[in-house]
Structures are given as structure tokens and as C-alpha cells.
Structure 1
Amino acid sequence: MHLATYPQAIEYYQQSWTIARELGNPQGEGNALGNWGAALFKLEQYPEAQQHLESALNISKALGDRANESEALLHLAELYHQTGHPDLALDHCTQALTLARELGIPLLKECEALLITLQPEGERA
């Protein structure tokens, strides 16, 4: 997605979240919040992105939606890495990687790539 389209995408995610909330659809709320947070991250709006991603993570955990939980964890790991919190980044990335491996989802490759970036050089396999 081109950077110029993220503000429009955010508007759509806001609308999607509002509709899901009005319908009492927590799965839809979590999906909208995760996408909204990821778009905010791309625009370097880190505090707001973190808030949305953590909300998406909490909803995914509450619903037992492990695939979206893994995705939220990965996005939070990227955010923490970008904002200078390597321990939090590594913790979230490791959790995302564990879930992605258990589920066998395509997110696995992204998790592995980020983990390589996060690990201190002496610990890399």
C-alpha cells in the first residue's frame, strides 16, 4: 500500500470498527483495530498504533483467535523494535513466532525474519 493511501484506509478501519461495535461483533472489532493499528504504525503514529494493537491483541486472546493474536503480537514487536524497546520487541516476536509455528500460518516467515533482526548477533542461529 502506498503511504498516501493509509489515511483513507484508517477511515475505513474506523468505520469498520464502529459497525462491528454496533453489531456486537468482537471478532470484527479486533480485526478492525488490528488493521487500524498497523496502518497507524506505517504512518509512525506509534502511541495510537500501540493502543489499537494492544486492544486487538486483548480481543483476540479473549476470543481464542490465535491467528489474529499472532498477527497483533508481530505488529507490536515491530512497533517496539522501531521505538527502541528491544526486550519488549523480542518477547512479542517470540510469542508471535510460537503461535505462527503451532498454527502453520504464512505469518511464520515474517516472524522469523524479525526475530533474526532482534536477536543479538551472538545468539543468532
Structure 2
Amino acid sequence: MIVNDPATLAEVTAQFERYEQALVANDVAVLDELFWDSPLTLRYGATEILHGYAEIQAFRAGRPAQGLARRLGRTVITTYGTDFATANTTFQREGSDRTGRQSQSWVRLPGIGWRVVAAHVSLIG
């Protein structure tokens, strides 16, 4: 198994950056697209525990569209082979001194490409 194959790393990095742009712009269509449409997909947030794509999609649809801007800290993306990756980053929202953490597991799925299959967001302090 090759860790951080340059081509695979570039693909996942591009999807991670696309996700980040959609997150701060509240582009719900792109956010929905980038999560695997499956009851097995998980997203544990700072205030929510979401099991399955339907719960994640409902959360996104009801989330406030303001106050989403943030600065990323150290981002680490690691690929394992050509079909699995993790993306981890820290962040700070504008006007807040709290540090957030975000972890994502990405899988390349046949016919649809890279999707988040599990995500976790939490705040320190």
C-alpha cells in the first residue's frame, strides 16, 4: 500500500478544498453531494449526532447560513492506497477565540468518486 500517492493526495485535497468552500458559502447542494448517500454515513458535530445521509441532509437544510466564515489551522490529509483518505484540520470562526477540530474519512466509491463517509467536528474550550 502506498501512503500519500501524489495523484491520490491531489484528488483528495481538491475535494477537501471544494468542501471547505461550500461550507463557508453554505452551498448545501455541494455539501450534500460530497457526503456518501447511505444510512451508514455518520457526522458527529459540536451539537448534533447524525446517523445516515438523510439526517445529515436535514441538518444542512436547517442550519443557519450566517457566521460560517473560519480560518483553517493545520490541515493534514493522508491517503492510504488509492481509495481511502483522512482529512483533519483545526479552525477558528471569525470573532471567536475557541479552536475547532474537524476530521473526515473519505472513500473513493465506484461510479461517483470521493465521498465523506464519516465526519466529526468539535470545539475546545
Q: Same fold (TM over 0.5)?
A: no
TM-score by length of 1: 0.28
